[in-house]
Amino acid sequence: MITPSSIDLATEARLIAAGVRYAAAWRGKTVVIKYGGSVLDAGAAGTVVEDLVLLKGAGVNPVLVHGGGPEITRMLDRVGKETRFIGGLRVTDEETMEIVEMVLAGRANKGLVTMIGAAGGSGVGLSGKDAGLLRARRLQGPVDLGLVGEVVEIRADIVKIISDAGHVPVIASIGLGEAGESLNLNADHAAGALAAAMGASKLIILTDVPGVMRAVDGAARLVSSLTVDEAQRLIADGTISRGMIPKVEACLMALARGVPSAHIIGTEAPHALLLELFTEEGIGTMITGGVR
């Protein structure tokens, strides 16, 4: 006799079996994850930290790259320092850079490491300056952004040593400049470059929206998958705009340098990282180099 409880158990068993198969397929592979925003706000992390610890326990090698823009802005406001953005990048003079480094390499980075430890894992916090992990040069453009940098060289071996020792590397998006100065890096771009340098199997960018959205019949709808060409067209026509542009650019950079797939997913869905890696459907927007 089939009962509702037996049907539920059968469904649960199938889900468990599928999860185990996907976990086995991902064992030993590296996944670079970018997490930004208000990383230390109450409840903002959701299940991200728990998922990182579970992934590490399942034999996956997660590497976390983080920003912390809202926290930086709040700190600048506290000291009466004006915040200016040009093209989505923070104009960074020497005084601003001191606060950026204090927040990212200090409060935000060590806060995430502490949360990973509280969830039963082991995190090791770094900035891009440690052992020359993220060497950078000042970003060149029509407007001088100050101490804003772009990554030119990555010591991926440092990250691998830490990961192979059983820890989750937690990397603040600060670069080491050519003259030894600190440079403010876009965390999305830094994560994309690191994923490529490490030969990661996937780049995942976590954000506060479900993924790339577009208007359909007057309503915003999730775009579940994009090719490189489609993503570039959506940037050109303005569908992808503002803060989503560097996220998509980071995905395109990683794909161009050999990362098989890149994903932009929201953190509001519980266990978003596990759903992305251990289910066939995944969530959010997947960007691949294929054609349709």
Domain boundaries, the chain: 29-288
61: three-class secondary structure by DSSP: strand
Question: In whole angstroms, how far apart are CA 35 and each of 63, 120, 233, 284?
Answer: 10, 19, 26, 15
**Closest CA relative to residue 198, chosen from 237, 254, 272:** 254
Q: How far apart are CA 277 and CA 200, in angstroms?
A: 13
Question: What pLDDT score was predicted for residue 41?
Answer: 63
Q: How far apart are CA 233 and CA 228, in angstroms?
A: 9
The residues near 5 (Cβ < 8 Å, ≥ 6 apart) are none
Question: What pLDDT score was predicted for residue 275?
Answer: 86
Sign of CA dihedral 126, 132, 133, 135: positive
pTM, two decimal places: 0.89
Give me the CATH code for the 29-288 domain, please.
3.40.1160.10
Q: How far apart are CA 255 and CA 271, in angstroms?
A: 25
Report which residue type is found at 192: G
One digit per residue, the tens of pLDDT, for the chain of length 292 reads 444 554 576 666 666 666 677 677 788 999 999 998 665 564 556 688 999 999 999 999 999 999 988 889 999 999 999 888 887 789 999 999 999 999 999 999 999 999 999 999 999 999 999 999 999 999 988 889 999 999 999 999 999 999 999 999 999 999 999 999 999 999 999 999 999 999 999 999 998 888 898 888 778 888 989 999 999 999 998 888 888 888 999 999 999 999 999 999 988 888 888 888 888 777 899 998 755 4
CB 136 within 8 A of CB 175: yes
Question: In whole angstroms, how far apart are CA 99 and each of 35, 41, 148, 242?
Answer: 19, 18, 14, 24
Query: Per residue, what are the HEC states of 198-233?
Result: CCCCEEEEEECCCCCEEEECCEEEECCEEEHHHHHH
Q: How far apart are CA 207 and CA 285, in angstroms?
A: 11
CB 184 within 8 A of CB 231: no
Task: Kindly report the number of other CB atoms within 10 A of residue 133's CB atom.
Answer: 25
Radius of gyration of the chain (CA): 19
Give Cα 36 to chain centroid, integer Å. Answer: 7
Which helix (H) or strand (E) segment holds residue 21: the answer is helix 4-26
Question: What pLDDT score was predicted for residue 3?
Answer: 47
Q: What are phi and psi of 233, to 5 degrees?
A: -65, -40
Token pair 């920003």 in the structure block, residue: 67
Report which residue type is found at 74: R
